[in-house]
Structure 1
Amino acid sequence: MTRQDPVAAATDAAAPAASASRARRADWLDALATMLERNREELVAIAAEETHLAAARLDGEVTRTAAQLRFFATVVLDGSYLEATIDTADDTLTPPRPDLRRILRPIGPVGVFAASNFPFAFSVLGNDTASALAAGCPVVVKAHPGHPRLSRRVAELSRRTLAEAEAPEGLLGMVEGVEDGVALVRHPAIRAIGFTGSTTGGRALFDLASSRPAPIPFYGELGSINPVVVTEAAALARAESIATGLVDSFTRDGGQYCTKPGLVFIPDGDAGDRLLTALSDRLALAPSQTLLTEQMRTAFDDHLAAGELEEDDVLRGYATEEQTAPVIVTIDMERFLSRPDYFADECFGPVTVVVRYRRRQDLPQALEAVEGSLTATLHLEPSDDVTALVDQLTARVGRVIFNGWPTGVAIAWSQHHGGPWPATTASVHTSVGATAIRRFLTPTAYQDCPPRLLPPELTDDSDIPRRIDGALVVP
């Protein structure tokens, strides 16, 4: 990359971005949110044309993306994300303790790989970008080829908005294409990468980031099957509502969600029969969808063909020639355990695999065959004793949902959108929620530092939440 590239500009912007006050960073985020809302009509029209997603869905996504930006403005202003910690000097201890003050600081220029399925919320101004800017890190976005015109327009408007807000030049840049994406990961000035995409592509970039002369953190969100368990009592009590919720969830926007429930365990016998009948009835009403790209449609068809499924294994919804029909694959537990690598493999699109189990005792073995996921869902009744099952699920996912559905990820302080491999490359972190900012921060401790050289948040008169000599102090 030459000196004129976005990474060079981001490098120049790193110091002024890091030293900018929290109030200034919040202003930048608020300004970007307002820009999205003001240009909503134009941007939604471009996105609808490029992605085939419904205008109403995209309009809602603009609202979410603006909310994410404003949410991180509140996180920045709160200041607790800095984990400011002070231990005052104490000569009576053995060994004596110096004055120590620790804080989280911006890691430096960050590369962000945009996702295909959320052209606003996980793209140029998506959650990775918002959290990195909030941390004080310049961002270079690798645009997704599924919506190039939208990406360019959002980047153009963002740069103009940031200039008007007097942000450092180069705070937000963009590159396109595979070669520039690889170069972004390799560039010595880039200090961390955020990625949302396929397991194959993410693993390749993760390995690249790890093999650099100076390796960097790679925060990848990759593949997730998001298992669901329905107890017999729940199936008997709520077959219709469970069926409606499942079909609505796995077919939402063509099943192109990272949190789509792709594997569902239901009881055998009368309870399972009731649920399958309700699922079949609901599937007949489910909409078909044009998938985001032709490549995704081909991958969807190839995945189903690889299963060597019998006609009786498959329930199909209605679709036109141009659109993809929603599919429910139904198998028994023995069939699942014979090919868990196939039946528990994520397939992007409107399909879910329903596995019938005869005994609750069979579930632990089946769940052990499922790789790490972003979510797990449990449908149960008050009479169900599922403590051991909950313990097993919490060890394998980042978020457990009870009597609900995983599609839809709330923007909140307590949200965790991550999970064990292959859901993410760093299960201790999240890409949604307040602590997403932690990915782009690094700790620094100051020992016996003159007050005038301390970050403002570590001085004695700071007004943010801090821990002083072990005690939490909230202004």
Structure 2
Amino acid sequence: MKITGENIIGYTTSATGLEVLRAYDPVSNTQLAETFTIATATEVNRAVEKAATAFRTYRHTTPADRATFLEAIATEIMNMGDLLPARAVAESGLPLARITGERGRTIAQLQLFATVLREGSWVQAVIDPAQATTPVPKADIRKMLVPLGPVLVFPASNFPLAFSTAGGDTAAALAAGNPVIVKAHASHLGTNELIARAIQKAAQQCGMPDGVFSSLTGSGAALGQQLVKHPGIKAIGFTGSYKAGMAIFDAVNQRPEPVPVYAEMGSINPVLLLPGKLAAEATTVAQQYAASITQGVGQFCTSPGLLLALEGPGTEAFADRLQQELATVPAATMLNQGICYHYYENREQLARGEGVETLFAGDSGLEATKGSPALYRVSGSRFLQQAALQQEVFGPASLLVVCKDTAELVEVLTSLHGQLTGSVMGLQEDLDTYSQLIPLLAEKAGRIIFNQVPTGVEVGYAMHHGGPFPATTDIRSTSVGASAIDRFARPLCFQNWPQNLLPDALKDHNPLGIWRRIKGTLTQDAVHP
């Protein structure tokens, strides 16, 4: 499969624009050979118009047909063999083993949603049959989730496969019955095109409508804003920075017709280090968190950027060991020059905070696009006085906040912004003594973790990867796991409709064999008179 630099618009390719972009290799600090043509306004309109037309057909495809489509995408991705991982490594600087594992996760996500579709209960079918009550009979009312329309997906920088072109947002939106338009990430232009062509091929093989998928290339925020403001776009999935996510959110709310924006905008993922645990296992905990802070050069949205502890010998032992462990981790290649530059800029800003002490800071690797670990410390009182200390430093850095007593720790927890995760490291005696802290942490996070590090998000049915603002723009949504499909659907209620015009999920005889709630009871039975 050859990389051509063209935009993928449904079943066609297009490159009518005069402006181009080039991909970048962060390891060699050189541009890659291919040029990628920036989509014109005409091409943008054509992609959205095709998606809108495709939606009229695609929304009515059977769950089994969509499941087959997702599985075909997975097959086409694997059929590329070594070409895809090699390109992703070249554009991201990530090691081959990491990219290979990420490809496996991408496949697993597609297969998970195929399974969700075949099982079928995700549509949340509810049936209240007509009742001859007096004095007014009750109408026959049925409800289920239905797709929204064309979905715009912004891939992430830090996961060139699993949170990208065929990642969780795309898989969930296609599973729900929506066409997808991807705005290619500038850091993964070649990787994006390879995946886009795999999706295009799978769509043709499975007889999906032309326009069910498109991928467009753009520079900076220009293309994204064109797509965000297009009236044909009915929902948006985004993974990235707070600044970019809020620009999308604000633009959508200025449209005549606002649409849902599911933006995951990062997190500092606070870790509550309780005294008993540190007194007993300071070295072990320090080793765990040194590995978590530096995993993927700190470029995970679940990287632990905030460590909370009480004054005491266990905390001092932990702080000493953690800086020793971080000092053994060499600087490593970051995803791109921009991310590397902002990492050093943001960590220096953190270090200049009032009362902030630098415990360890590796030498700058900015010229080589490499990030070195860093650890900072501040008192609880100083932390409470400086809102800037809650800003994410995207990279291998963390801030240790040491509180003088439990009351101050309560204040710190109460002051925290919304987070993707919150972790507790403690013994049973800690949980008994500091039980009032756990609900405070749970109020701030979408996932709370006990005696484990936050890095690593499983693809499954129970996973929730979201959280209160500003971690995400919608506290109710997840971007990972089976429930991610719910973001790209809406309830539709059918009142007094004849059987032959109802969707299969709501028909009396339950042709799909799915679980439904009938008169308040979950059952797979047919509706009986």
Same fold (TM over 0.5): yes
d(CA) in 2 for partners of 1:12, 1:180? 21
Select the residue among 424, 428, 446 that pairs with 2:494.
446
Deviation of residue 176 (structure 1)?
A: 1.9
User: Cα distance 1:135–1:94, how it changes in 2: closer, same or farther (>3 A)?
Assistant: farther
Helix, strand or coil for the counterpart of 2:447?
strand
d(CA) in 2 for partners of 1:425, 1:294? 27
Worse-superposed segment, 277-286 or 74-83: 277-286
Describe the superposition over 1:129-184 as per-residue Cα deviations: whole angstroms up to 9, x where unpaired: 00000001000011111111111121112201221122221111011213221111
d(CA) in 1 for partners of 2:349, 2:124? 49
d(CA) in 1 for partners of 2:326, 2:363? 9
Would you say 1:437 and 2:469 are equivalent positions? no
Deviation of residue 311 (structure 1)?
A: 9.6
Would you say 1:360 and 2:406 are equivalent positions? yes
Helix, strand or coil for the counterpart of 1:211?
coil
d(CA) in 2 for partners of 1:39, 1:159? 14
Residue in 1 that maps onto 2:461: 413
Q: Structure 2-normalised TM-score?
A: 0.87
Helix, strand or coil for the counterpart of 1:315?
strand
User: Cα distance 1:287–1:16, how it changes in 2: closer, same or farther (>3 A)?
Assistant: farther
Residue in 2 that maps onto 1:315: 360
Select the residue among 362, 372, 377 that pairs with 1:325.
372
d(CA) in 2 for partners of 1:284, 1:206? 40
Residue in 1 that maps onto 2:145: 104
d(CA) in 1 for partners of 2:276, 2:498? 65
d(CA) in 2 for partners of 1:153, 1:94? 64
Select the residue among 278, 284, 298 that pairs with 2:327.
284
d(CA) in 2 for partners of 1:94, 1:261? 61
Deviation of residue 319 (structure 1)?
A: 7.1
d(CA) in 1 for partners of 2:206, 2:280? 56
Deviation of residue 270 (structure 1)?
A: 0.9
Deviation of residue 121 (structure 1)?
A: 0.6
Would you say 1:304 and 2:347 are equivalent positions? yes
Select the residue among 266, 275, 289 that pairs with 1:223.
266
Residue in 1 that maps onto 2:165: 124
1:175-324 equivalences under 5 Å are 175-177=216-218, 178-307=221-350, 308=352, 313-317=358-362, 322=368, 323-324=370-371
Deviation of residue 70 (structure 1)?
A: 0.3
d(CA) in 1 for partners of 2:134, 2:488? 35
Residue in 1 that maps onto 2:427: 381
Helix, strand or coil for the counterpart of 1:240?
helix
Aligned-residue CA RMSD in angstroms?
Answer: 1.6
d(CA) in 2 for partners of 1:60, 1:210? 37
User: Cα distance 1:199–1:93, how it changes in 2: closer, same or farther (>3 A)?
Assistant: farther
Helix, strand or coil for the counterpart of 2:467?
coil
Select the residue among 443, 448, 465 that pairs with 1:395.
443
d(CA) in 2 for partners of 1:299, 1:192? 30
Paired residue type of 2:395? G
Select the residue among 472, 475, 483 that pairs with 1:427.
475
User: Cα distance 1:396–1:86, how it changes in 2: closer, same or farther (>3 A)?
Assistant: same
Worse-superposed segment, 278-287 or 244-253: 278-287
Structure 1 runs of 4+ aligned residues shifted over 4 Å read 309-312, 317-321
d(CA) in 1 for partners of 2:330, 2:97? 15
Structure 1 alignment gaps of length 5 or more: none
Q: Identical aligned pairs, as a percentage?
A: 39
Would you say 1:470 and 2:470 are equivalent positions? no
Contact 1:37/1:63 (8 A) holds in 2: no
Contact 1:397/1:420 (8 A) holds in 2: yes
Residue in 1 that maps onto 2:506: 458
Contact 1:251/1:287 (8 A) holds in 2: no
Paired residue type of 1:460? D
d(CA) in 1 for partners of 2:150, 2:226? 14
d(CA) in 2 for partners of 1:360, 1:41? 54
Contact 1:411/1:433 (8 A) holds in 2: yes
Deviation of residue 196 (structure 1)?
A: 0.7
**Count of aligned pairs:** 474
Residue in 2 that maps onto 1:32: 73
Helix, strand or coil for the counterpart of 2:165?
coil
Contact 2:76/2:199 (8 A) holds in 1: yes
Residue in 1 that maps onto 2:202: 161
Paired residue type of 1:324? G
Describe the superposition over 1:394-436 as per-residue Cα deviations: whole angstroms up to 9, x where unpaired: 1111100010011111111111111111100000111111111
Structure 2 alignment gaps of length 5 or more: 1-40
Helix, strand or coil for the counterpart of 1:102?
strand
Would you say 1:76 and 2:126 are equivalent positions? no
Worse-superposed segment, 116-125 or 388-397: 388-397
